[in-house]
Amino acid sequence: MTPLYIKESFDALSATQNNFGIDKLLLFTSDYAINDKTPWNIHPNTKKAGETEPKPTLITTINNEPIYGSKFYVNKEMYSAEINHGYMRVQFNPSKIYDESNLTFDRSKIADVLTEIQSDMNNTMSTDIDLFSTNISRLDIAAQAQMNNPVPYYDQIIRGAQNLKRAPKTEYPNGFNIGKGQRQVGTYDKGFKLQLDKGYKNIQASNFLRVEPRFLNAKAVQANTPFKSINDLLSANDNQFRFAYSKTLNDLLKVDQTQIEFLELSSLTNLIEVSKKTYNRQWLNFFIITLQVSGATLPTATQFEQALIPLVNSGTIHRSVISRSIKKYQAVIHQSKILNAAYLKQSETNYIEQHSEFIDKFFNPYKVA
């Protein structure tokens, strides 16, 4: 059989496809048999505090021989596998096997990958296993697009999500992890990541953005997708993938999908809160920009202070911020007549354009009627 692993050369800055597919699959089963431990790696147990010798942990038994250690595993170019709590777990990225920059959820290609991995495990790893009878314990579904601006320009749209954290720079550059528990969404600069993996130096942010819902255990997979087993996934239709993707984005990312013309807010407190979530350290500038673009009268310093108090009480803004913000705001009021309204309007226009582009490339193409 001709090997399927055909990584193609890729210039990260030339990617133009807006595509969709599976980024990662983790399968598990208790129905397997290892006939020879030789091809596998065994990580020994290590001593813990207070132990004179490491306590042996039984991983499995092969041909009546007990195997002790902390990990029994193999890492290969196409896949990785390990025994964990009696289960064989096999992980691979079906899209990366065909093309490291583009995604696929072509079920026939995934089946071909499974066939090749199973053949390698049977013949090279001396393991009897039927991967087509396994269940799914992790599934990452992803979409990606070439944007009009570098990836960090879209931070202001993503920052409104709850439970948001900056992702590790080496794993997901210019990225965020959104959500908690076993269902999350990751966003990151895929072009930057591809260059980083190739060992390039002095890398700049690219325009190649990936958005990736992740279901991190079997319970999350079954609660948010129609897939329990690998056969469920292989027999699925396109809309089942799109529904799982779009529902998770709607639940966790919470991006307003209506066309934004102007942020109509009922109170100064709400406007401050939105400004803080959207622009973080630059929130005061955005607050003033929004008021001036709308033609509203700037509030007095006393009104501004009163609007801050509910946000301090709710923990949205730290109490120490009040005095600094009031001083800055008083200075702005003093100079408000010389602020450049055209520049402020342009800042608002840029946000509207980036928001609309994000919706058009990551929400609209995957909606299920």
* In-domain check, residue 364: no
* In-domain check, residue 193: yes
* CA pair distance 366, 369, nearest whole angstrom: 10
pLDDT, residue 299, reads 73
H or E stretch at 299 = none
Nearest to 88 by CA among 130, 147, 124, 53: 130
Q: For the purposes of burial, counting CB atoms within 10 Å of the CB of 61, is it exposed (0-12), middle (13-18) or buried (19 or more)?
A: exposed
324 and 197 together in one domain: no
Please provide residue 5's backbone torsions phi and psi, each rounded to the nearest 5 degrees. Answer: -75, 95
* CA pair distance 85, 108, nearest whole angstrom: 31
Instruction: Spell out the per-residue pLDDT of the chain, length 369, in tens.
Output: 334 433 333 344 344 454 899 999 999 999 999 999 999 999 988 888 877 788 888 888 899 999 999 899 999 999 999 998 889 999 999 988 887 778 988 999 999 999 999 999 999 999 999 999 999 999 999 999 999 989 988 887 887 777 888 888 878 888 999 998 899 999 999 999 988 888 888 888 899 999 999 999 999 999 999 999 999 999 999 889 999 999 999 889 877 665 434 334 346 788 888 777 776 777 777 777 766 655 566 677 777 788 888 888 888 878 887 888 888 877 766 655 444 444 445 555 677 788 888 989 998 888 775
21 and 162 together in one domain: yes
Is 173 in a helix, a strand, or coil? Answer: coil
185 and 68 together in one domain: yes
For the chain, first and last CA: distance in Å?
Answer: 41
pLDDT, residue 297, reads 62
Structure tokens at 244: 């799982």
Between strands 65-68 and 19-29, the pairing is: unpaired
* CA pair distance 170, 355, nearest whole angstrom: 27
* CA pair distance 210, 200, nearest whole angstrom: 20
* In-domain check, residue 260: no
The answer to whether 99 and 23 have CB atoms below 8 angstroms apart is no
* In-domain check, residue 262: no
Structure tokens at 139: 């599934």
Structure tokens at 242: 């799109």
323 and 248 together in one domain: no
The residues, ordered by sequence, that sit 6+ positions from 32 with a Cβ below 8 Å of its Cβ are: 88, 127, 128, 129
Q: Which of 252, 276, 296 is the last residue of a domain?
A: 252
248 and 272 together in one domain: no
142 and 288 together in one domain: no
pLDDT, residue 293, reads 57
pLDDT, residue 335, reads 57
- 279, HSE (Cβ side, Cα atoms, 13 Å): 17
* CA pair distance 352, 329, nearest whole angstrom: 25
105 and 248 together in one domain: yes
CA 147 to each of CA 209, 310, 353: distance values in angstroms, whole numbers, following the listed order: 7, 38, 11
pLDDT, residue 326, reads 82
Task: Indicate the angle between helix axes 283-294 and 268-279, nearest 10 degrees.
Answer: 130
320 and 205 together in one domain: no
* In-domain check, residue 331: yes
The answer to whether 207 and 148 have CB atoms below 8 angstroms apart is yes
The answer to whether 316 and 276 have CB atoms below 8 angstroms apart is yes
pLDDT, residue 256, reads 62
137 and 69 together in one domain: yes
Rama region for 174: left / alpha / beta (φ>0; ψ in -120 to 50; rest): left
Q: How many CB atoms lie within 10 A of CB 165?
A: 12
Nearest to 347 by CA among 265, 267, 263, 257: 263
71 and 160 together in one domain: yes
Total of domains in the chain: 2
236 and 290 together in one domain: no
155 and 301 together in one domain: no
Q: Which of 252, 287, 314 is the last residue of a domain?
A: 252
For residue 152, the enclosing domain spans 12-252
Structure tokens at 50: 């207070």
